[in-house]
Amino acid sequence: MHLSADHLEVQLDAGTFAAAVTGSGTYGLGPLEVTLTEGRWPTFGWTVANRGDTPVAVQSVALVFDVVDYTGALRMFRHGYQSWSPSGIATFDVDVDPSTVARFPFVQAVHHADQATVTLADELRSEWFTVLAHDGPGALLAGFDGGGWHDGTFRLRWAGDDSEVELWAEAFLGDAVLAPGARRELHGVVVDDRADVPASELLASWVTPVGHELGARVDAPFQLGWCSWYQYFHDVTEHDIRENLGRASQFGFEVFQVDDGFQSAIGDWLTTNAKFPAGLDDLASSIESAGFQPGLWLAPFLAAPDSHVATEHPDWLATHVDGNGDRRPLYAWWNEPWGGGHDGFMYALDTSHPEVQEHLASLAAQLVEIGFTYLKLDFTFAPSVDGVWADASLTPAERVRSGFDAIRRGAGTDAFLLGCGVPLSHVVGVVDANRISQDVAPLWDLDGRDPIVAGYRDIEPATRHAYANTLARSFMHRKLWLNDPDCLMLRTERTGLSADAAHTWARAIGLSGGLALVSDDLSLLDDAARDVLAATVELGRASDNEARKGVSPVVPDLLDASVPTTITASGHTLVTDVATGTSTFT
């Protein structure tokens, strides 16, 4: 199986333009020209330029390939857009894109670069990279060599006459405006179709140079810590934090992180609510005095409608044009417990606005000065949502990256930044760690319940979902960042997770080599739970040491099972019954 470049296609407000590809050269496509070059790495380099005398809003530029010489069923590894977006194998002409079921752009904006519902019923898509497999020998990888300039989406679809299958490598610019005479370099497209090379080797051959070229921050030590979220959620109090802080020294933690629930409002991160009367300064000092690195959660690109940042700086908000043609603040997410005056709907800060960038840098600097040198940055997909932004020349990817760059600038190079809910391709080189899975939960699976949003069941919190993404993305650890597979589930009270499933999840975390974070009320953890934690940390440090040497975990059935069953690392193998969460470990 291999790819044959067929044509280029650009999608603009003015319409769609195409040109057949005959090799390296410059191609005219309406008001644009695309220059294509073939090489060794990346396989294809390209630029797009506006050759006209008026600005052009560019939605996408695509290099379209024919998929040649495949046998039987064609399968696509669909890589998810952001931390919580599912990743796994799908069968072409059998499975569907979830947007065709949901038809709900508000949620689709969170899980795809292009939030519009796909127009072709047969289309499958993957973000940043994909692997194609078939019934014959060998597989094929296609990926972009970066993601900070724009998104990269792969679309697998029938050609117009349904005679051939095409793979579209789409540089998604999200209607970024290209000025007259301006030229924009696009991320290169890598194609690796070596026969009889396992998926793990294809992925390693792609991810290693990508991380190197983008300056991936991969040198932070193995992280062992505590987080308040999965026991207390939004209801956490200062008393809860201090009670657990008093017990934390018994567990060997290095990081102690306060999660969502301390803030006076989403967007007002320096002031606490009534449940935290001592304030952030005292809290950070107490954590540091107890011997831990203080950590704090924030959703830096969101603002509650009644927050000070939103009411005092309305010009800092991204907007959209409503059905009446009026400009309104842009809603980027909804979380009812946050309140905020609009029943939990949150505004997006305009990260393309220079004043917002300075605000974010100042915020990060103040939090680090207070003592919070470990910052968990959540819901950071917000700047990628379709809307009206101060700088129309920026792509959605650049808006996300601008926000992260501002926070890094303010926090300094020594602070530990953990991305969460983040479009993964946008932040290589700026974060130290990334959540690579959906939220865990005190249960293994959702037991057949109806999804909250049709088509998007696998985005919902469940340990099985986190397990699936942790295996699928395990190869990224110490190549692009430190992987954060989300928290262990150790408690045996107030949980619906069986002991077997909890052990399976702990071993999956350990074999992945990623962060080991506990999120239980520490008073609920008995000697057996401590033994599980100790075994996980021992396994995790061994796997992490292997990753430091360039040896990633191997998931042999990544391209065969809808949820992988097997992960091998540091001389151990975990085989899981994904229906129940039980497993064997050798």
What does the alpha-carbon distance between residue 49 and residue 358 come to, in Å, rounded to a whole number?
31
Closest CA to 109 of 326, 423, 337: 423
Q: Which of 93, 207, 293, 256 is nearest to 473 (CA)?
A: 207
On whether both 193 and 242 belong to a single domain, the answer is: no
**Confidence band (pLDDT; 50, 70, 90) for 48?**
very high
Residues in the chain: 586
Q: Is the pLDDT of residue 449 over 90?
A: no
Confidence band for 39, pLDDT divided at 50, 70 and 90: very high
Q: Which of 439, 484, 486, 520 is catalytic?
A: 439
Which pTM does this prediction carry? 0.98
Instruction: Report pLDDT digits (tens) over 228-258.
Output: 999 999 999 999 999 999 999 999 999 999 9
pLDDT tens-digit map of 305-327: 999 999 999 999 999 999 899 99
Indicate whether 357 belongs to any domain: yes
Mark whether 265 and 182 lie in a shared domain.
Answer: no
Give the Cα separation of 84 and 399 in Å (integer): 20
Distance, in Å, from the CA atom of 318 to the CA atom of 316, rounded to the nearest integer, reads: 7
Residues 206 and 228 in one domain: no
Which stretches does DSSP call E strand in 39-122? 44-50, 56-68, 75-78, 88-91
Distance, CA of 203 to CA of 475 (rounded, Å)? 7
Dist. CA 501–CA 507, nearest whole Å: 10
**Dihedral sign (CA 413, 414, 415, 417):** positive
Distance between CA atoms of residues 151 and 143, nearest Å: 11
CB neighbourhood size of 536 (10 A) = 23
Residues 263, 183 within the same domain: no
> What percent of the chain has a predicted confidence (pLDDT) above 70?
100
Give the domain-ending residue among 192, 213, 234. Answer: 213
For residues 505 and 439, the answer to whether their CB atoms sit within 8 Å is no
Confidence band of 512 (pLDDT split at 50, 70, 90):
very high
Q: Does the pLDDT at position 448 exceed 90?
A: no
Taking CA atoms, 332 is separated from 30, 115, 320, 329, in Å, by: 33, 12, 11, 9
Instruction: Determine the Cα–Cα distance for residues 93 and 54; give it in Å rounded to an integer.
Output: 41
- The pLDDT value recorded for residue 430 is 98
Tokens 């695509």 belong to residue = 62
CA distance 115 to 265: 28
- With beta carbons less than 8 A apart as the criterion, state whether 35 and 52 touch: no
Question: Is the per-residue pLDDT at 497 higher than 90?
Answer: yes
Please indicate, yes or no, if residue 389 is contained in any of the structural domains. Answer: yes
CATH number at 271 reads 3.20.20.70
Residues 229 and 93 in one domain: no
Same domain, residue pair 202 and 284: no
Do 133 and 64 belong to one domain?
yes
Note if 439 is an active site residue. yes
Q: Is 135 a catalytic residue?
A: no
How many angstroms separate the CA atoms of 411 and 375, rounded? 9
468: helix, coil or strand? Answer: helix
**Domain shared by 158 and 284, yes or no:** no
Final residue belonging to a domain, choices 150, 183, 213: 213
Q: How far apart are CA 256 and CA 269, in angstroms?
A: 18
Residue 492: inside a domain: yes
Domain-ending residue, one of 160, 185, 213: 213
Mean pLDDT of 372-399: 98
Q: Is residue 344 assigned to a domain?
A: no
- Structural element, H or E, at residue 319: strand 319-321
Q: Which residue has the tokens 């931390």?
A: 83
Report the chain's mean pLDDT, rounded to a whole number.
97
How far does the chain reach from its first CA to its final CA, in angstroms? 35
Rg of the Cα trace of the chain? 23
Same domain, 209 and 235: no
- Both 15 and 63 in one domain: the answer is yes
Full residue range of the structural domain in which residue 98 is found: 2-213
The 3-state DSSP class for residue 255 equals: strand
Per the listing, tokens 């752009």 go with 105
Q: Could you read off the pLDDT of 257-266 as tens digits, one per residue?
A: 999 999 999 9
> What is the DSSP code string of 6-26?
EEEEEEETTEEEEEE--SSEE
> Which residues are 143's β-sheet partners?
129, 190
Strand pairing report for 151-158 and 25-29: unpaired
pLDDT for the residue 509: 98
| Per annotation, catalytic residue among 6, 151, 193, 378 | 378
pLDDT tens, 93-115? 999 999 999 999 999 999 999 99
Q: What confidence score (pLDDT) does residue 163 get?
A: 83
**Do both 524 and 478 map to the same domain?**
yes
Can you tell me which residue has the tokens 């195409």?
18
One domain, residues 228 and 199: no
